[in-house]
Amino acid sequence: MSFKTLDDLTELAGKRALVRVDINVPMQDGRVTDATRIERVAPTIEELSGKGAKVILLAHFGRPKGKVVAEMSLKPVAAAVEEVLDHRVHFATLDEAEAAISKMADGDVLLLENTRFEPGEEKNDSDLASRYASLGDLYVNDAFSAAHRAHASTEGLAHKLPAYAGRTMQTELEALQKGLGDPKRPVVAIVGGAKVSTKIDLLTNLVKKVDAVVVGGGMANTFLAANGTDVQASLCEAELGQTAREIEAEAEKAGCSVVLPVDAVVAGEFKAGAPSDTVAVDAVPEGQMILDAGPQSVEKVKSWIEQANTLIWNGPLGAFEIEPFDAATVAAARYAAERTRAGELISVAGGGDTVAALNHAGVAGDFTYVSTAGGAFLEWMEGKTLPGVKALEDGGKG
Ligand code: ADP
Ligand code: MG
């Protein structure tokens, strides 16, 4: 993987830098309730501005589908960016952009209105990309989480100007490269969560690339059932039995171990504090459901983590949102964190619920890298080409 970064940029003074960021932040009553995404891109903006560039931010917000929708204006977000940066942030629509940019001083920051107000944005329209390009001298993409979309501001524009990865994009790509691109072996993946159906591509790709896949959470039930275990009232996609067996066959061919739970914590209902029991996976009482991996399974997962030099994690091992069914996920997460802190493990995790689970376990900060990129993270782990990243690898025009 090779792409240009801000290190390749010299002589920035007076240059107009078009910077694609993801500041699709949660808002309530016109106020930003969580500025994490803004904080993530702040270093890139500050670095460019500090070197005298005129920084022009491109970003989407919500799904206005090519129309101007007043509630999806980025204008209120400009104020939040201003707070995080401690730097004045100007705002303009695309029609006002040229005039606004001509008034910018070196180091100024301007946020342009929601890119998805433009009908050509999601169609990756070449004329729109050219129109964006006419506003800048160079392009920086710092929005990894939008890189699985080939849109005018995430892909098309990268072919019209010299293109660079911003610092957040660079960090994410380098971490993912360590996790799956060129990892230190053995590599163990934990794939958990609710359903096999959402993770078929992920499992299929991982079994070819890693040394062991620990299958956990609700999706383990589908694998157990495919091998003849009666999982009773557990979440289970019986129709995917054949798919599960195919994934196991692929794994065997590739020399990858598929690790399934041997015991489980079961309950009569999906509810916090529901009376629970620990049983062997082939002894789930009638009408009960598996809501977490049992202690023997946790020991097994820990021994796989112990042998690994690299760990990739997507999906919790149980219904971690409701106690006490968070126990396996928390124990495995804390063990991975401990080995990471000791310098013995590279740990890369991602996925909405996975991030929540690691936060719940209090160890998100101890992992080597935790991706908040959602869909883009999954597509990367599925081995797919991300158009926004590919365009940077092609180096842009210049
Ligand atoms: P991510 O968002 O990290 O990709 P998923 O969305 O695939 O993860 O999975 C998370 C969900 O899986 C959680 O809501 C959790 O409750 C559910 N889950 C895990 N184990 C079980 C189980 N045994 N039964 C039912 N749901 C489960
Ligand atoms: Mg989820």
Where are the chain's structural domains?
Answer: 6-167, 183-381
Nearest residue to 15 via CA among 160, 167, 140: 140
Cα 190 from Cα 330, distance rounded (Å): 13
Does this chain's domain 6-167 share its CATH topology with 183-381?
A: yes
208 as an active site residue: the answer is: no
65 as an active site residue: the answer is: no
CATH topology of domain 6-167: Rossmann fold (3.40.50)
Cα 380 from Cα 206, distance rounded (Å): 11
This model's pTM is above 0.85: yes
> CA separation (Å) from 395 to 141, 163, 181, 388?
12, 6, 20, 11
Q: Whose CA is nearest to atom 25 of ligand 1?
A: 218
Nearest residue to 360 via CA among 391, 317, 395: 317
The response to whether residue 235 sits with its C-beta less than 6 Å from ligand 1 reads yes
Compute, in angstroms, the gap from residue 375 CA to the centroid of ligand 2. Answer: 10
The response to whether residue 194 sits with its C-beta less than 6 Å from ligand 1 reads yes
166 as an active site residue: the answer is: no
Q: Which of 191, 221, 353, 381 to mutate to test the pocket of ligand 1 (most atoms within 8 A of CB)?
A: 353
Q: State the ligand closest to the CA atom of 199.
A: 1
Compute, in angstroms, the gap from residue 247 CA to the centroid of ligand 2. Answer: 21
Burial label, 269 (beta-carbon count in 10 A; 0-12, 13-18, 19+): exposed
The response to whether residue 133 sits with its C-beta less than 6 Å from ligand 1 reads no
Nearest residue to 78 via CA among 65, 94, 92: 92
Q: State the ligand closest to the CA atom of 356.
A: 1
In sequence order, what are the residues at sequence separation of 6 or more whose Cβ sits closer than 8 angstroms to the Cβ of residue 4? 162, 163, 164, 165, 392, 395, 396
pLDDT tens, position by position, for the chain (398 residues)?
789 999 999 899 999 999 999 999 999 988 999 999 999 999 999 999 999 999 999 999 999 999 999 999 999 999 999 999 988 999 999 999 999 999 999 999 999 999 999 999 999 999 999 999 999 999 999 999 999 999 999 999 999 999 999 999 999 999 999 999 889 999 999 999 999 999 999 999 999 999 999 999 999 999 999 999 999 999 999 999 999 999 999 999 999 999 999 999 999 999 999 999 999 999 999 999 999 999 999 999 999 999 999 999 999 999 999 999 999 999 999 999 999 999 999 999 999 999 999 999 999 999 999 999 989 999 999 999 999 999 999 876 65
Q: Whose CA is nearest to atom 16 of ligand 1?
A: 319
The response to whether residue 120 sits with its C-beta less than 6 Å from ligand 1 reads no
Compute, in angstroms, the gap from residue 316 CA to the centroid of ligand 2. Answer: 9
**What is the length of the chain?**
398
**What would the CATH number be for the domain defined by 183-381?**
3.40.50.1260
Three-class DSSP labels, 295-317: HHHHHHHHHHHHHCCEEEEECCC
In degrees and rounded to multiples of 5, residue 343 shows phi and psi of 80, 15
Do 178 and 368 form a contact (C-beta atoms < 8 A)? yes
Do 309 and 274 form a contact (C-beta atoms < 8 A)? no
DSSP state of 56: E
195 as an active site residue: the answer is: yes
The response to whether residue 216 sits with its C-beta less than 6 Å from ligand 1 reads no
Cα 232 from Cα 283, distance rounded (Å): 9
Cα 88 from Cα 109, distance rounded (Å): 7
The response to whether residue 354 sits with its C-beta less than 6 Å from ligand 1 reads yes
Cα 324 from Cα 327, distance rounded (Å): 6
Compute, in angstroms, the gap from residue 314 CA to the centroid of ligand 2. Answer: 9
